[in-house]
Amino acid sequence: MLLELRDIKKSFTGAEGPVPVLRGVDLALGAGESLALTGESGSGKSTLLHLVGGLDRPDSGRITVAGEDVTALDDRGRAALRRGTVGVVFQQFNLIPSLDIAANIAFQARLAGRHDAALAQDLAERLGLAAHLSKYPEQLSGGQQQRTAIARALAARPRLVLADEPTGNLDEATAEAVLGAMLELVAETGAALLMVTHSAHHAARMGRRLHLRAGRIA
């Protein structure tokens, strides 16, 4: 298994004490698999992705990515995991304003020591960014910025892609095309894809679908 979650629990502190969000989540994802994570707003989907990406820690339970225990890593180890193994497309795109789109797309791959100009160009074309490569993030629409964040994540050839509503800012036709490109790339590289979506239609295009309800996989 490329990704395994065992009995993951996570609470946040509310005005009246801890509010449990994840109450014991188990999940396994193999290389080459794609999994849609659905659930009502506030059900903990983003929280789960943040835990897997090492951006936050669970209260208890174990998360392994490519055999590595994420819950046991220190900050440096978690940063290294995001640099080398995991690609994230989160709701904040975190593009670098001072770099043009080409350099933003290459950024993660360069950090990982895996920059491949042909792959970067191919991704830019497949994601409709080829005409924008010398522009800066502020000159792009929200949807174009979102596609840049997707290209940046995929260009580094991560073994696991975590995507939180990666087509949320796109019109339906563009969303279809972008999702298709993501699924193709994941299939071509044998990576695993864990994607949060509110769209039943998009979820149906993924290999498997899991629904979060009341803090557990329903």
Strand, coil or helix: 28? strand
Q: Using the rule CB under 6 A, is 98 a contact of ligand ATP? A: no
Binding map of ligand ATP across residues 166-195, x = CB under 6 A, - = no contact: ------------------------------
By the 10 Å C-beta count (0-12 exposed, 13-18 middle, 19+ buried), 42 is classed as exposed
Q: Does 12 bind ligand ATP (CB under 6 A)?
A: yes
- 44 is an interface residue for ligand ATP by CB under 6 A: yes
51 contributes a contact to ligand ATP by CB under 6 A: no
Region from 35-43, 121-129, 175-183, 186-194 binding ligand ATP, contact rule CB under 6 A: 35-43
Question: Residue 9: what are its φ and ψ, rounded to 5°?
Answer: -120, 140
Residue 193 and residue 184: Cα distance in Å, rounded?
A: 11
With binding defined as CB under 6 A, does residue 58 bind ligand ATP? no
- Residue 41 in the binding site for ligand ATP (CB under 6 A): yes
Per CB under 6 A, the list member of 34, 38, 47, 148 interacting with ligand ATP is 47
DSSP state of 143: H
Alpha-carbon span 62 to 58, nearest angstrom: 8
* 197 in contact with ligand ATP (CB under 6 A): no
Tell which residue, 125, 162, 164, 169, has the closest CA to residue 145: 169
Task: Out of 45, 78, 82, 152, name the contact with ligand ATP by CB under 6 A.
Answer: 45
With beta carbons less than 8 A apart as the criterion, state whether 188 and 31 touch.
no
Binding residues for ligand ATP (CB under 6 A): 12, 21, 39, 41-47
